[in-house]
Amino acid sequence: MLEPFAAVDVIRAKRDRHILSNDQIDWVVDAYVRGVVAEEQMSALAMAIFLNGMTNHEIVRWTNAMIDTGDRMDFTHLPRPTVDKHSTGGVGDKITLPLVPIVAACGGAVPQLSGRGLGHTGGTLDKLESIPGWRALLSNDEMMQILTDVGGVICAAGDGLAPADKKLYALRDVTATVECIPLIASSIMSKKIAEGAGGLVLDVKTGAGAFMSDPDLARELAATMVTIGLDSGLNTRALITAMDVPLGFAVGNALEVQESIEVLAGGGPQDVIELTLTLAREMLDIAGIDADPAEALRNGSAMDSWNRMIAAQGGDPAAPLPRSHEVHEVLARNTGVMTKMDALGVGVAAWRLGAGRARKEDPVSAGAGITLHAKPGDHVTAGQVILTMYTDDAQRFPQALEALDGMIEISPAGTPIQRLPLILDRISP
């Protein structure tokens, strides 16, 4: 078949800061999936996009081109309105776990297609796989049945959704083109639009432990994704939320599941509760559901949805969760007020304990992680336990402790504390 374009011409156009035409974008994405555009050619184009950017129109077209390489899911026949949520990831970010059953208990359907952790950010599927028997891989029929019966499902995305994104993401990872707003936005939104939910709430993290540590760049990313969603007919809005300090007190797979269950039982850390309920209200508003998510926690219906959702995917919600048996306590070196607990440092430490992975094929430890006993603003005394580490291999402790070096600060009482507000901004139509 005679190709309508040459890859080198498309690369040259973006290298020279030209706007790519619709036909150029459609062709180059499709041709890359078909193998006509070579890896080195797409690498060059990705770097040209990284350096020279894209217009909003180009980003929307690029996103749609990636969607068109695969399937689209259809939930229009479900008896409940569908709404989805996506987080850009962070440390201790277990919000999806209590959020999905809360929204389900309020009458929504949440088809949450989630991923695995990589580096210092945790993966929702890794967390849930610490529950005995729970499985991430579901057929479309199973997924639809659980959404109909329970209203919420958290599972792995099939290979048929935006296959261009999967291929391009792996390429970006090895060509230093990951931190590129047009490519990040189109990557996230291609999968979310293909998922087929009726609405989408984005949780864009910012701060030391976030992918977008600069709040201005986080806002730009959020605004770009909202634009893509609205242009595609997907009711989309975004919150910019803090990730300078870990969310909650648990970092690690089973530890975060346990903390999520505490929230569903009516307890748990205040920041996790607040962010979960805020996102739930946004999701219910998009879905047109008049319900109070806090009431779903109070009356036990959210916990009931959780138990049913876990059981429907083969898990035993009553089974004890694993915990690694090698334990190391980190003590406060002096008395005063904690003024810093860097989310990135804590995330890297948990990763080195075995809670995360360096490569997608690496295994993770269900029981490894960190429990925090104090956070910025708390008064601590010298010798007090400020965090507890868990791992399957005690030889991991030194490197984990190294990751925390300089990441926690305890200052004299009265020292000002600089923390981001939990919710910095809201971007909506």
Would you name the residues annotated as active-site residues?
86, 165, 172, 187, 191
User: Which helix (H) or strand (E) segment is 401 a member of?
Assistant: helix 397-403
Burial class (CB in 10 A: 0-12, 13-18, 19+), 159: exposed
For residue 15, the surrounding DSSP H or E stretch is helix 7-15
Task: Tell me which DSSP letter residue 92 carries.
Answer: S
- C-alpha 319/C-alpha 402 separation (Å) is 34
How many CA atoms, within 13 angstroms, populate the side-chain half-sphere of residue 7?
A: 19
Structure tokens given for 270: 């205040």
Residue from 193, 162, 178 nearest 121 by CA: 178
Q: How far is CA 383 from the centre of its chain?
A: 35
CB neighbours of 23 closer than 8 A, spacing ≥ 6?
Answer: 4, 5
SS3 420: coil
Nearest to 73 by CA among 195, 165, 177: 195
What are the DSSP E strand ranges found in 317-407?
326-331, 336-341, 369-372, 379-380, 385-391
Query: Does residue 110 contact residue 151 with C-beta atoms inside 8 Å?
Result: yes
